[in-house]
């Protein structure tokens, strides 16, 4: 079952699990009178930069919101470009992930993507499965509401089949069915670009996470910005509902 957060963590504790809503690629490009794809390309460079910085700064798990289930509403050309960038990232970064001992995980409805992309993801997950960590989690075709509904349906089906007593369903039992079940609890969730909403990302997992909204557009987010975020987290008093 998923681990529960420990209360009264002392000030200065480093986050084990950091998640980022990578927002602002389009606005970065617009400010420079460039097409949106240019912003997305720079966003991929930021992913490389921050993934390396997170390892250097001792983050155990980094979860990145790469493509939401709502992003399908974007223009077809932009979606196609984003999927192409994902293919390029997997092809270009896999060797480094392996050499650095990074374990890759993907959450969301990624198995419904194009067959060649699914095959690339499966191969990357398999190749890094035995790595000791840290872990890079990519949320791809992900929506938190869909994740929660899926868990609820599975538990309801088990109860209907008399393989689960509904009275035994508690937070830990529910968390054990989430896609993040084997990961440490989410400590810090960062959103770039100045927007202050979760946009259907890790809604259950973020219940007691520290939330940090920064004005920096994602392509400009760098190691110093991440270090500042971790330092900010270290000053937080995390009581988890207690005094």
Flag whether 24 is marked binding.
Answer: yes
Q: Is 71 considered catalytic here?
A: yes
Distant-in-sequence, close-in-space partners of 187: CB < 8 Å, separation ≥ 6:
15, 16, 17, 18, 209, 210, 233
Does the annotation flag 12 for ligand binding? Answer: no
Beta pairing partners, 157 = none
Q: Does the annotation flag 197 for ligand binding?
A: yes
Contact 87, 118 (CB under 8 A): no
Ligand-binding annotation for 36, yes or no, is: yes
154 annotated to bind ligand:
no
DSSP string, 19-79: EEE---HHHHHHHTT--HHHHHHHHHHHHHHHHHHHHHTT-SEEEEEEEETTGGGS-HHHH
Which residue in the list 8, 71, 116, 187 is annotated as catalytic?
Answer: 71
Residues 6 or more apart whose CB falls under 8 angstroms from that of 199 comprise 21, 65, 68, 70
Cβ 48 vs Cβ 94: under 8 Å = no
**Where in the chain does DSSP place strands (E)?**
17-21, 61-68, 103-107, 135-142, 188-191, 210-213
Choose, from 8, 23, 220, 228, the residue flagged as catalytic.
Answer: 23
Residue 23 falls in the annotated catalytic set: yes
Q: Is 242 annotated as a binding residue?
A: no
111 is in an annotated binding site: no
Annotated binding residue 40: yes
Environment class of 19 (CB within 10 Å of its CB; exposed 0-12, middle 13-18, buried 19+): buried
Ligand-binding site membership of 210 (annotated): yes
Q: Is 110 annotated as a binding residue?
A: no
Q: Any known ligand binding at 170?
A: no
- Which residues define the annotated binding site for Mg(2+)? 23, 210
- Which residues define the annotated binding site for substrate? 24-28, 36, 40, 68-70, 72, 74, 191, 197-199
- Which residues define the annotated binding site? 23-28, 36, 40, 68-70, 72, 74, 191, 197-199, 210
Task: List residues with catalytic annotation.
Answer: 23, 71
């Amino acid at each position: 079952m998923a681990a529960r957060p420990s209360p009264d963590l002392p000030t200065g504790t480093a986050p084990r699990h950091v998640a980022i809503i990578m927002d602002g690629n389009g606005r970065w490009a617009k400010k420079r009178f460039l097409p949106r794809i240019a912003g997305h390309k720079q966003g991929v460079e930021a992913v490389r930069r921050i993934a390396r910085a997170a390892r250097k700064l001792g983050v155990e798990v980094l979860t990145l919101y790469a493509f939401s289930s709502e992003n399908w509403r974007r223009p077809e050309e932009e979606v196609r470009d984003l999927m192409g960038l994902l293919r390029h990232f997997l092809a270009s970064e896999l060797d480094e992930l392996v050499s650095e001992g990074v374990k890759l995980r993907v959450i969301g409805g990624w198995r419904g993507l194009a067959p060649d992309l699914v095959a690339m993801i499966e191969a990357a997950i398999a190749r890094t499965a035995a790595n000791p960590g840290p872990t890079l989690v990519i949320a791809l075709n992900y929506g938190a509401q869909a994740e929660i509904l899926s868990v609820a349906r599975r538990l309801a089906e088990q109860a209907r089949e008399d393989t689960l007593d509904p009275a035994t369903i508690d937070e830990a039992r529910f968390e054990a069915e989430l896609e993040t079940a084997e990961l440490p609890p989410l400590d810090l969730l960062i959103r770039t670009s100045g927007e202050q909403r979760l946009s259907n990302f890790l809604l259950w997992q973020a219940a007691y996470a520290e939330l940090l909204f920064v004005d920096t557009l994602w392509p400009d987010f760098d190691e110093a910005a991440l270090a500042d975020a971790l330092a900010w987290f270290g000053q937080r008093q995390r009581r988890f509902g207690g005094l």
